[in-house]
Structure 1
């Protein structure tokens, strides 16, 4: 299920040149299909997180998947960019009830010492979905038309949601410990924890910088080097392959480098990758750069994600959903600002700014992790 949700998240990236052409708008304006999805996805986390704690995470996931069908059907027939943006809002709002609650369910069932590895496996499925979504969107947009992408999503998410809802195991799914709290009280309780507030700030900035850059990578490759949409989308798939590299290496990477080392390595990889894309003069540079950017991002984000599942264990659904909410609000803001930068300054200044910002973010996050580790070491057991 999270495979389909992850695929739906990134399908508009390789479509941007085609959407700009078909609707007579700029690439930055077409990117509103990405930012609108992210805004809706982020805001609805405030509902789905407490809902998962109250009514059962798997049950909410199933109904959320079915609800995405409405948005994708509207996108399939959208006559204008405004209608397509509305469709992406509906899709993003419904999809908010899937991935974050899957993460919270993992947090409920897997001990923290083993969670990094399990989340890396979860990341494998999510990344496969993103890569498949980006690649399929590029191919279908070029050879069939972008509407075919949304038809495929209707089939994929509708089938997955139906299977979950019909699962008999849902009848015995119990309520979590946070069931008695109201939505607002649950959110307030999470926000009262200082480390939770810090984590939310970190992930909001990470989402703005990382996705503000990667959302425009296919359009940059097509515009700057004359690559076809399917070729540009295939290159961007390397971003996901870099993430898979982290997922497979997480079992030995974290014990050897430590959490601080992983955060620093991720930030350095991101800075090098986006700097290379900003300064490169040949499209072939994008091949290693995209893979390195994916490795760096998922090293940093995977670590943040693991800490998010432990921010407030008693309200894990709410806490992880707030983490996702702030990330996607950051993504929406980042893509919106990035669109203006692209329209007025071009792609390369955007990539350079994101390179520097992500390095600073990683340094600050590593510093906070080290401070927490020292404080824990001096705390009596």
Structure 2
């Protein structure tokens, strides 16, 4: 079997195949965020509190942290085309079960399936994408893939909330299952066969984790992600401090963050291909600087809007920046390294949100913003220093 780590890169990019991966990421991330938009309806229907219903998101992330670094070990030789299509099919099954579930516990089990599908698909997406495009187009290709995540993060909650009022929450999950099925068909049509990258296995995973630069890089990436989510999780709470921010301006502020996210994602691709060290440093600095500015400017609405726009651009660029860094740092162990990065992100989300909550309760939301901003800056400086070395 050909090893994609040593095989010659493709001469031309297969953009339809890349787009099908981005479509898969969109469907999976949208499915992950859907419960947040319909918690009151889900809780009332299943007879649990909203906080308990919210654990449907938590179990998805926890399963993702387990699956992301281990799926290449469990499936060392399978054609990655077949694996990606199978993971999408698993997400379809998850959403169908959620739509039909008679109980809260079956809902949680169904969401575990989604967590496995999401983390496994995302872990393989870096190595599969690198096999579909020339090396000097990898950043642009990852931008196409990550655009699916960005659009899903922006659209899933408001769209889910609206459709939940029209069709009910079960109907929304049925719609997500239908979108997943269309994605399966698109990938079956456009994805070529992709052999495993490197030598997937437990030994390779352990060797990858022991690589000093990668290990330090994962810590830096986790610091940036945890810093972002320590602040972003409580953005809605922070807006209560802003003078004169009515409901209309709040909606505009949240929309601005989403649009800025898309802008940052689109800008990241060319920069990743041509100025990766600048992007690896710049994106975390934008996040950190913006959160610190937000904390300092809550009395000035215009400055808050500027800070949120910069914040959105910075975080929109992060996935492509970090995935490209991983691909350039560990090209021979890309599946293992990619899985470890996704696991790091999942853990960082949980840690950041938890630490931010403690700060909000104990010292106020400004403390969460400042701490998150400092963590993002430190993570970016650390990762940039590793890149230079």
How many positions carry a matched residue from both structures?
362
1:130-181 CA distances to partner (integer Å, 9 max, x unpaired)?
22223312433566554443232222113322553x54976xx3633545x5
1:26-74 CA distances to partner (integer Å, 9 max, x unpaired)?
76x6654333222211211133234565212221111111111333234
CA shift in 2, pair 1:364/1:20, >3 Å: farther
CA contact (8 A) 2:197 2:335 kept: no
CA contact (8 A) 2:95 2:177 kept: yes
Report the 3-state secondary structure (helix = DSSP H, G, I; strand = E; otherwise coil) of the residue aligned with 2:285: helix
Find the aligned partners of 1:19 and 1:339 in 2 and give their Cα distance: 24
- Aligned counterpart, 2:225: 207
Find the aligned partners of 1:313 and 1:46 in 2 and give their Cα distance: 16
User: Given the alignment of the two structures, is residue 131 of structure 1 paired with residue 189 of structure 2, yes or no?
Assistant: no
- Aligned counterpart, 2:196: 176
- Aligned counterpart, 1:365: 383
1:254-284 CA distances to partner (integer Å, 9 max, x unpaired)?
688x434333332332123223444525777
Aligned to 2:58, which of 35, 54, 62? Answer: 35
User: Given the alignment of the two structures, is residue 327 of structure 1 paired with residue 350 of structure 2, yes or no?
Assistant: no
More off after superposition, 37-46 vs 138-147: 138-147
- Aligned counterpart, 2:135: 112
- Aligned counterpart, 1:93: 116
More off after superposition, 327-336 vs 69-78: 69-78
Find the aligned partners of 1:202 and 1:52 in 2 and give their Cα distance: 28
CA shift in 2, pair 1:363/1:159, >3 Å: same
Find the aligned partners of 1:143 and 1:288 in 2 and give their Cα distance: 35
- Aligned counterpart, 2:14: none
- Aligned counterpart, 1:3: 26
Find the aligned partners of 1:93 and 1:41 in 2 and give their Cα distance: 5
Report the 3-state secondary structure (helix = DSSP H, G, I; strand = E; otherwise coil) of the residue aligned with 2:328: coil
- Aligned counterpart, 1:294: 312
- Aligned counterpart, 2:91: 68
Find the aligned partners of 1:282 and 1:79 in 2 and give their Cα distance: 49
Deviation at 1:337, TM superposition (A): 3.5
Aligned to 1:264, which of 254, 270, 281? Answer: 281
Where in structure 1 are there 5+ consecutive unaligned residues?
A: 373-381
CA contact (8 A) 2:32 2:114 kept: no
Matches within 5 A, 1:129-168: 129-141=152-164, 145-164=168-187, 166-167=188-189
Find the aligned partners of 1:148 and 1:212 in 2 and give their Cα distance: 32
Find the aligned partners of 1:142 and 1:72 in 2 and give their Cα distance: 18
Deviation at 1:350, TM superposition (A): 2.2
1:333-372 CA distances to partner (integer Å, 9 max, x unpaired)?
32334344445655443223212211221122222222x2
Report the 3-state secondary structure (helix = DSSP H, G, I; strand = E; otherwise coil) of the residue aligned with 1:358: helix
Find the aligned partners of 2:233 and 2:321 in 1 and give their Cα distance: 22
Find the aligned partners of 2:251 and 2:89 in 1 and give their Cα distance: 28
1:199-257 CA distances to partner (integer Å, 9 max, x unpaired)?
222222233222343344356658986749xx96774343342232233334664688x
Find the aligned partners of 2:231 and 2:325 in 1 and give their Cα distance: 24
TM-score, normalised to structure 2, is 0.77
Deviation at 1:92, TM superposition (A): 1.0
- Aligned counterpart, 1:274: 291
Find the aligned partners of 1:284 and 1:82 in 2 and give their Cα distance: 46
More off after superposition, 31-40 vs 320-329: 31-40
Where in structure 2 are there 5+ consecutive unaligned residues?
A: 1-23
More off after superposition, 67-76 vs 185-194: 67-76
Find the aligned partners of 1:46 and 1:251 in 2 and give their Cα distance: 25
1:96-127 CA distances to partner (integer Å, 9 max, x unpaired)?
22223122111223343332222223222331
Report the 3-state secondary structure (helix = DSSP H, G, I; strand = E; otherwise coil) of the residue aligned with 1:294: helix
